[in-house]
Amino acid sequence: DIQMTQSPSSLSASVGDRVNITCRASQRIGDYLIWYRQKPGKAPQVLIYGASRLQTGVPSRFSGSGSGTEFTLTITNLQPEDYAVYYCQQTDIFPVLTFGPGTRVDIK
C-alpha cells in the first residue's frame, strides 16, 4: 500500500501568520492529492483537490502546490477558524485512498 506522511505533526501559529504543511507519498501519484480541514467534532471539509485546485467556496488564503510525491498546503493570513487538523489524501492508487496522519494547527 502507498504510505502518506505529513510534516510537521503539529504547529503553533498566530492569527495572520503564514503556515506551510508538507505531505509526501511513498509512490508517485501525479496530482491526485486532496487537502482537508477538520474542525473539532465536525466532518472533514475539502480545501484543495487535484493538488492545487481551490474547492468552490473555500477562501483564497488556502493554496496547494506540488506533484508526484511531494505536496504543500499553504495558509496565508491564518484566521481563528483555521485552528484545526489538516489531512492530505491520495486518490490515485487503489485499493486504499490513503489519508496522511494529520497536522494539528494550534493557537500560539
Partner 1 sequence: EMQLVQTGAEVKKPGESLRISCTASGYIFTAYWIAWVRQMPGKGLEWMGRIDPIDSYTEYSPSFQGHVSISADKSVNTAYLQWTSLKASDTATYFCARVHTSSWREHDYWGQGTLVTVSS
Interface ranges with partner 1 (CB under 8 A): 1, 31-34, 36, 38, 43-46, 49-50, 53, 55, 85, 87, 89, 91, 94-102
Spatial contact of 65 and 52, defined as CB atoms under 8 Å apart: yes
In angstroms, give the least distance from the CB of 92 to partner 1: 8
Measured from the CB atom, the residue of 17 and 98 that comes closer to partner 1 is: 98
Measured from the CB atom, the residue of 11 and 85 that comes closer to partner 1 is: 85
In angstroms, give the least distance from the CB of 45 to partner 1: 8
What CA–CA distance (Å, rounded) separates 85 from 102? 6
- Where would I find the beta strands (DSSP E) of 2-96? 4-7, 10-13, 19-25, 33-38, 45-49, 53-54, 62-67, 70-75, 85-90
In angstroms, give the least distance from the CB of 15 to partner 1: 26
Work out the number of other CB atoms within 10 angstroms of the CB of residue 107: 11
What CA–CA distance (Å, rounded) separates 10 from 26? 21
Measured from the CB atom, the residue of 44 and 68 that comes closer to partner 1 is: 44
In angstroms, give the least distance from the CB of 38 to partner 1: 8
